[in-house]
C-alpha cells in the first residue's frame, strides 16, 4: 500500500538504488500498521530484480523474511489452515542463525539478496547480538531491511549501522479507502469510526474492525471526558475487552487508548497537557511491553482506565 506518508521513503530508496553504492542496512521506522512491511517487500523486489532474469510472483528465493513464528505445533496447524493463530513473543536467535547459514551461499537468481526482519524490535537479546555480527560484516550482495515500530528498543550498535527511512501517517481518506478494500462488508459508519480512531494507521484501523473495539472506544472517550470516580466505567471497560482476550486484542486495546489520548492532546487546553503527556508516555510503555509480557487482562484494563481517568477533563467544582 502506497500513501502520502511513503512518498519521502520511496524517493530516498530510489535515489539510493540509483547511486553508485547502496548502503547495506536500512531501518524502516514508524508507527505500527502504516505499511512498512509492505514497503520492505516491494523495495526488496526492486533490489533483487535484474534485467533479463525472470522474477517469481510469489515467494522469492532471494528475499528472506524473518517474522514471529507460531507459538507451537498446534498454532502452526491453525496458521496452515488459515485460522487465527498465536505467535511466539520474540524472533529467536535460532531464526537469525538459520538466516546466517543461508547467507553462506550465493543468491539464487541474481547477485543480490534481501533480508527483512519484521519487527526487529522483537528480536531476542541473543538474536540481536547475532544479527549485529552480520551487520558488521555483511556478506557480499546481502542487504538488510529492519522494520521497527519502536526504534529505541534496538541496540544502539544496530541503529548506528542502519540508514533510517521514516514513515508518516496516512490521511483519513487513505485509511478509509484501505478499509473499503480490506473490509468491504463492514458498515460504513464502523469504517469511518475505525479510521478516525486509528491515528493515521491503516493496520490499526483494520484491527479496530476485526477486534470490534467500538465499545471500548466509546468507554475510553467517556472516561477521558468525565473521569471515573466510582470505577464504574473501568468495570465496563473490563467487560468490553473480555475475560480471556488474546495478546493481539490486548495490544489493540493499548493502541486504541494511545490514539484516543493523542487525539485529546491536539484539542486540550494547555493546563491539561502535562497529565495527557504523562498518560501517553505510560501507554507507550505498556505498548512496548505488550509483545513480551503476560499481562493480567483485568489489571491491564484497570491501568489503561486509570491513565485515561488521570488525564480526564477536570470537573467544574460544585457550588453551594
The 10s digit of each residue's pLDDT in 141-158 is 999 999 999 898 899 999
Give the 3-state secondary structure of 197-209: HCCCCHHHHHHHH
Q: What is the DSSP string of 213-282?
A: -HHHHHHHHHHHHH--TTSHHHHHHHHHH-SS--HHHHHHHHHHHHHHHHHHHHHS-GGGHHHHHHHHHH
Same-domain check for residues 155 and 18: yes
Q: Does a structural domain hold residue 126?
A: yes
Structural domains counted in the chain? 2
Measuring CA to CA, which residue among 151, 176, 200, 255 is closest to residue 34? 200
Of 112, 140, 166, the position where a domain reaches its end is 166
The 10s digit of each residue's pLDDT in 46-91 is 999 999 999 999 999 999 999 999 989 998 998 888 887 888 889 9
Is the whole model's pTM more than 0.85, yes or no? no
Q: Does a structural domain hold residue 180?
A: no
The 10s digit of each residue's pLDDT in 198-213 is 878 898 888 888 888 8
Residue 34: which CATH number?
3.40.50.300
Residue range of the domain that includes 25: 4-166
Same-domain check for residues 24 and 151: yes
Amino acid at each position: 500500500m502506497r500513501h502520502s506518508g511513503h512518498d519521502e521513503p520511496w524517493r530516498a530508496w530510489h535515489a539510493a538504488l540509483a547511486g553508485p553504492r547502496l548502503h547495506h542496512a536500512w531501518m524502516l521506522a514508524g508507527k505500527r500498521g502504516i505499511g512498512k512491511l509492505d514497503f520492505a517487500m516491494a523495495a526488496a523486489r526492486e533490489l533483487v530484480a535484474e534485467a533479463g532474469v525472470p522474477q517469481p510472483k510469489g515467494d522469492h528465493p532471494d528475499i528472506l523474511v524473518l517474522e514471529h513464528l507460531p507459538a507451537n505445533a498446534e498454532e502452526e496447524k491453525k496458521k496452515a489452515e488459515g485460522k487465527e493463530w498465536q505467535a511466539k513473543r520474540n524472533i529467536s536467535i535460532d531464526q537469525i542463525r538459520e538466516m546466517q547459514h543461508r547467507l553462506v551461499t550465493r543468491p539464487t537468481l541474481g547477485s543480490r539478496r534481501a533480508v527483512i526482519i519484521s519487527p526487529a524490535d522483537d528480536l531476542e537479546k541473543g538474536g540481536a547480538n547475532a544479527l549485529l555480527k552480520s551487520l558488521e560484516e555483511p556478506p557480499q550482495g546481502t542487504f538488510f531491511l529492519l522494520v521497527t515500530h519502536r526504534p529505541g528498543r534496538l541496540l544502539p550498535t544496530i541503529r548506528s549501522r542502519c540508514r533510517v527511512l521514516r514513515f508518516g501517517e496516512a490521511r483519513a481518506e487513505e485509511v478509509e479507502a484501505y478499509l473499503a478494500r480490506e473490509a468491504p462488508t463492514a458498515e460504513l459508519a464502523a469504517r469511518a469510526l475505525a479510521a478516525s480512531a486509528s491515528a493515521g494507521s491503516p493496520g490499526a484501523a483494520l484491527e479496530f474492525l476485526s477486534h470490534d473495539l467500538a465499545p471500548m472506544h466509546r468507554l475510553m472517550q467517556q472516561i477521558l471526558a468525565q473521569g471515573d470516580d466510582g470505577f464504574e466505567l473501568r468495570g465496563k471497560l473490563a467487560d468490553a475487552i473480555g475475560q480471556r482476550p488474546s495478546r493481539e486484542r490486548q495490544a489493540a486495546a493499548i493502541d486504541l487508548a494511545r490514539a484516543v489520548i493523542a487525539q485529546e492532546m491536539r484539542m486540550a487546553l494547555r493546563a491539561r497537557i502535562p497529565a495527557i503527556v504523562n498518560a501517553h508516555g505510560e501507554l507507550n510503555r505498556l505498548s512496548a511491553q505488550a509483545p513480551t509480557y503476560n499481562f493480567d487482562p483485568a489489571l491491564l484494563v484497570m491501568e489503561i482506565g486509570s491513565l485515561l481517568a488521570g488525564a480526564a477533563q477536570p470537573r467544574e467544582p460544585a457550588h453551594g
